[in-house]
Chain A
Amino acid sequence: MGKHKTPMLDELEKGPWPSFVSDIKQQVEKGKHVLKEAPDDLLGVMELSYEDKVTHWKHGGIVGVFGYGGGIIGRYCDQPQQFPGVAHFHTVRVNQPSSKYYTTKFLRELCDLWEKHGSGLTNLHGSTGDIVFLGTTTDHLEPLFFEMTHELNQDLGGSGSNLRTPECCLGKSRCQFACYDTQEVCHQLTNEYQDELHRPAFPYKFKFKFDGCPNGCVASIARSDMSVIGTWRDDIRIDQKAVAAYVNGEIKPNAGAHGSRDWGKFDIQKEVIDLCPTNCMSYDGKALEINNRECTRCMHCLNVMPQALRVGLDQGASILFGAKAPILEGAQMSTLTVPFMKIEPPYDELKDLIEKVWDWWMEEGKNRERLGELIQRKSFQEFLRVIELDPDPRMVDEPRSNPYIFWKEEEVEGGWTRDIDAFRAKHQR
């Protein structure tokens, strides 16, 4: 058994959900990881935190591989004498393949590499999507990077003030709703911007995420500085026979997603027509009609009747900017900026947009200011001028209610230069 007593962590071996404690213990017992004491000492230091109710990890130091400013995060334990196996316990971020499909061959190669150069512990996956190798010492970093690039043809992900590892939903690979090839654009842009990903030159982090449809499975609208969300601008395709099959109860609604509870017979009026946020649908007992011009593509009807309804064929994406978590000015979601763009190789229009945004942010952004905060500070109007887009009512929920308009001099007839003496000639002081 392990070298530390862990009575509190042992409590987390109970219960039905998979126990990470049991898992780390099996690595302690059976694992072939080179840093022999690491998993054991990780349990030890966690147990100490469970007793003390505070963390025992220090601020990261600057570690990395030559030529890169990101991808490795330094980590040190604040009780190195007690837990020498995790005294130095750096994180390695490995850029995952688009939407995280793997062959077992490749996963085993990653496992072998990590056994050879680290603790044998990972995150599958980190919050931004990377394969995370959890815990190694500085001397292992260069050999690990060398073998990963030479033998596995695999590179690191991003960290620090750079482009973070882009992420996408599984898109067209296994979903009927995807309106563009999220995986391909994610892969191509990741490769296009390798320099930005590995060498920090930004005011702060920058994230791309690619959702194939407005259901938003990869959370781009909340979690990325640039959210690319699939959409379409023609008509939802309707199979009236399948609509009838839903109405008659031959097909389970919502793809069976409510299957464990009896919600009664499917009622198309109540469950689809009346829940449509724009009231653009009707059903007369024979045919479903959609006034597509009024549809805002919320996905509800498509989700409820996937065998009857399909997204339109004129597909592309809406592009939104500026999401971030609360630090500092409060959480923000992305703001609709480009209502529609075709997303097709070689993605020049998208790259052109990205580069305009970056140029402005790198010029104007303060240290640790996210794009969303810069847009708030400088104004959305300024952002639109920079990316050379005309204002559009789709970009706002409603027009401003205060009249404090920052008029530009060139917008005002006669400009701003006036003659006070001429004024006084007509108006006594």
Chain B
Amino acid sequence: MPYDPSDPLKDRITDIGPRYYADFFPPVIKNNKGKWLYHDILEPGVLMHKSETGDEVYTVRVGGCRLMSVEHIKEICDIADKHCDGYLRFTTRNNIEFMVDSKEKVKPLVDDLKSRKFEAGSNKFPVGGTGAGVTNIVHTQGWAHCHTPAIDASGVVKAVMDGIYDEFGSMRLPAPVRVSLACCLNMCGAVHCSDIAILGIHRKPPMIDSEWIDKLCELPLAIAACPTGAIKPAKTATGLKSLEVNAERCMFCGNCYTMCAAMPLADDLGSGVAILVGGKLSNRISKPKFSKVVIPFIPNEPPRWETTVKAVKNILDVYAADARKYERLGEWAERIGWERFFEKTNIPFTHHLIDDYRFAYTTWRQSTQFKF
């Protein structure tokens, strides 16, 4: 029975949840779930998992653009039909994984993937993203779909991945490097624990659309939204209810704009990129760590964000040359000391990098131990 617009609630089905994952398992996964013994990365982008049943599954990992067309997904399906009996999966970092159940099937699959290019020349399915290398960048919507961004997302990611492309297809770094991008402080990309985080920030306080603000917003909610108490009620010359921002107290989080559309703050000169480094999620060797701000601002440079790409590449190169095997970027920076990090990377240390928000004191140095 097709949808009947005159009676939208007829035969309605709700609250059925997602499809059952196990219905989508390829046979080699279905037969070996819970029986895996170990894995081995045969070459960048190619994993082998061995089961106690003797079965092996070979996984070929390729980078994807998270912003993806239906045409592209159909091509992914064609590849999975041709090589993988119609099964595939996606990773949490927007990679696509094609799985086959024997070693002979790997090379034809890899060759096929590597042969596919967009008309303009970029690779459709770069193989890599495993082990001690750079895997795909997780990111947000940016100028493609979001109302609060300070930067674009897909374009910056494309430019940065072009710049560090060789690290995606190889495993020559001291440890995995997770690069993430969030186009504003809301961080739907949650970049706060990444080895290298590219974060969109604003630097101009919100404007007040006084003629409209009382019609568009709940003023008390906008006032309450400010974590520094910088917003207070005001009246326009014509007597309209409005708001006023104490600019000196504003730290440009944009939370007021989230609550009130009449307080836009994005700006061509004010908004741009901050770079944070040294975060990690895994509990391996050291505890999970937050990323720390090391470059407070880089202007938006569409279409290729040259300065941002250079900054990421520089940090990556210095780390790769200096860190010990297994040492994550943040562990390396802590071992050599942050004073050395800034010296080696040649990044200027400015007042912006000293915390002055909540818990700031916990990041200041209460010791005479430092390096000259």
Please, which residue of chain B has its CB at the minimum distance from the CB of A98? Answer: B21
Partner of B87, one of A12, A104, A296: A104
Please, which residue of chain A has its CB at the minimum distance from the CB of B65? Answer: A20
Of A324-332, A354-362, A410-418, A421-429, the segment with at least 4 beta carbons within 8 Å of chain B is A324-332
Known: A16-B162, A257-B131. A101 touches B266 (CB 8 A): no
Measured between C-beta atoms, what is the minimum distance from B40 to chain A in Å? Answer: 5
Q: Is the CB of B285 within 8 A of A300?
A: yes
Residues from chain B with a CB closer than 8 A to the CB of A248 are: none
B185 at the interface (CB under 8 A from A): yes
A260 at the interface (CB under 8 A from B): yes
A95→B21 CA distance, assembly (Å)? 11
Residues from chain A with a CB closer than 8 A to the CB of B38 are: 176, 255, 306-307
Residues from chain A with a CB closer than 8 A to the CB of B17 are: 95, 155, 187, 190-191, 194
Q: Is the CB of B281 within 8 A of A174?
A: no
A8 at the interface (CB under 8 A from B): yes
A150→B259 CA distance, assembly (Å)? 36
Q: Is the CB of A31 within 8 A of B70?
A: yes
Of B101-109, B237-245, B296-304, the segment with at least 4 beta carbons within 8 Å of chain A is B296-304
Of A51-59, A281-289, A339-347, the segment with at least 4 beta carbons within 8 Å of chain B is A51-59
**Digit string of B59-78 for contact with A (CB within 8 Å is 1, else 0)?**
10001111111111110110
Residues from chain A with a CB closer than 8 A to the CB of B33 are: 172-173
Known: A49-B152, A50-B302, A215-B284. A22 touches B18 (CB 8 A): no
Measured between C-beta atoms, what is the minimum distance from B134 to chain A in Å? Answer: 11
**A1-55 interface (Cβ within 8 A of B):** 8-24, 26-27, 30-31, 33, 39, 42, 45-46, 49-55
A173→B27 CA distance, assembly (Å)? 11
Q: Is the CB of B36 within 8 A of A174?
A: yes
Please, which residue of chain B has its CB at the minimum distance from the CB of A102? Answer: B24
**Digit string of B182-200 for contact with A (CB within 8 Å is 1, else 0)?**
1001111110110000000
Q: Is the CB of B266 within 8 A of A300?
A: no
**Digit string of B343-355 for contact with A (CB within 8 Å is 1, else 0)?**
0000000000000
Please, which residue of chain A has its CB at the minimum distance from the CB of B216? Answer: A59
Q: Is the CB of A328 within 8 A of B57?
A: no
B322 at the interface (CB under 8 A from A): no
B248 at the interface (CB under 8 A from A): no
- In the complex, how many residue pairs between chain A and chain B have their CB atoms under 8 Å apart? 428
Q: Is the CB of A219 within 8 A of B92?
A: yes
Number of B interface residues, CB 8 Å?
137
A163→B358 CA distance, assembly (Å)? 28
**B11-38 interface (Cβ within 8 A of A):** 11-26, 29, 33-34, 36-38
Q: Is the CB of A260 within 8 A of B86?
A: no
Q: Is the CB of A24 within 8 A of B69?
A: yes
A423→B24 CA distance, assembly (Å)? 77
Residues from chain A with a CB closer than 8 A to the CB of B144 are: 42, 46, 134
A238 at the interface (CB under 8 A from B): no
Q: Is the CB of A214 within 8 A of B284?
A: yes
Measured between C-beta atoms, what is the minimum distance from B65 to chain A in Å? Answer: 4
Residues from chain B with a CB closer than 8 A to the CB of A277 are: 285-286
The interface centre, meaning the residue of B71, B143, B172 with most chain A CB atoms within 10 A of its CB, is: B71
Main secondary structure of the interface of B (DSSP, over half): loop
A198→B227 CA distance, assembly (Å)? 29
Residues from chain A with a CB closer than 8 A to the CB of B81 are: 104
Known: A95-B17, A306-B38, A327-B253. A23 touches B162 (CB 8 A): no
Q: Is the CB of B282 within 8 A of A299?
A: yes
Please, which residue of chain B has its CB at the minimum distance from the CB of A113? Answer: B70
Q: Is the CB of A216 within 8 A of B288?
A: yes
Residues from chain B with a CB closer than 8 A to the CB of A39 are: 69
A122→B69 CA distance, assembly (Å)? 6
Known: A31-B71, A218-B92. A18 touches B130 (CB 8 A): no
Known: A18-B65, A111-B70, A187-B21. A326 touches B288 (CB 8 A): no
A137 at the interface (CB under 8 A from B): no
Partner of B120, one of A13, A123, A147, A175: A13
Partner of A15, one of B64, B165, B172: B165
B8 at the interface (CB under 8 A from A): yes
A152→B66 CA distance, assembly (Å)? 23
Residues from chain B with a CB closer than 8 A to the CB of A19 are: 65, 118, 120, 122, 158
Partner of B86, one of A103, A122, A218, A256: A103
Measured between C-beta atoms, what is the minimum distance from B301 to chain A in Å? Answer: 9
Please, which residue of chain B has its CB at the minimum distance from the CB of A257? Answer: B131
Q: Is the CB of B68 within 8 A of A120?
A: no
Partner of A67, one of B12, B67, B182: B12
A60 at the interface (CB under 8 A from B): yes
Residues from chain B with a CB closer than 8 A to the CB of A49 are: 143, 152, 302
Residues from chain A with a CB closer than 8 A to the CB of B227 are: 328-329
Measured between C-beta atoms, what is the minimum distance from B136 to chain A in Å? Answer: 9
**A378-400 interface (Cβ within 8 A of B):** none
B340 at the interface (CB under 8 A from A): no
A126→B144 CA distance, assembly (Å)? 13
Measured between C-beta atoms, what is the minimum distance from A239 to chain B in Å? Answer: 10
Please, which residue of chain B has its CB at the minimum distance from the CB of A58? Answer: B147
B112 at the interface (CB under 8 A from A): no
A21→B120 CA distance, assembly (Å)? 10
Residues from chain A with a CB closer than 8 A to the CB of B88 are: 101-102, 104, 107
Residues from chain B with a CB closer than 8 A to the CB of A263 are: 325
B161 at the interface (CB under 8 A from A): yes
Q: Is the CB of B69 within 8 A of A121?
A: yes
Q: Is the CB of A27 within 8 A of B143?
A: no
Partner of B41, one of A110, A259, A271: A259
Partner of B118, one of A26, A30, A147: A26
Residues from chain A with a CB closer than 8 A to the CB of B258 are: 327
A275 at the interface (CB under 8 A from B): yes
Measured between C-beta atoms, what is the minimum distance from A206 to chain B in Å? Answer: 15
Q: Is the CB of B15 within 8 A of A122?
A: no
Residues from chain B with a CB closer than 8 A to the CB of A174 are: 29, 36, 49, 57, 59
A30→B75 CA distance, assembly (Å)? 12
Known: A18-B124, A127-B188, A169-B92; 13 extra A-B contacts, CB below 8 A, are: A13-B118, A26-B72, A26-B118, A55-B266, A75-B147, A97-B23, A100-B89, A107-B76, A154-B19, A174-B49, A176-B39, A255-B41, A259-B43
* A/B interface sample: 11 pairs, CB < 8 A: A13-B121, A14-B121, A57-B145, A58-B261, A97-B21, A149-B16, A255-B40, A259-B41, A259-B131, A263-B325, A326-B187
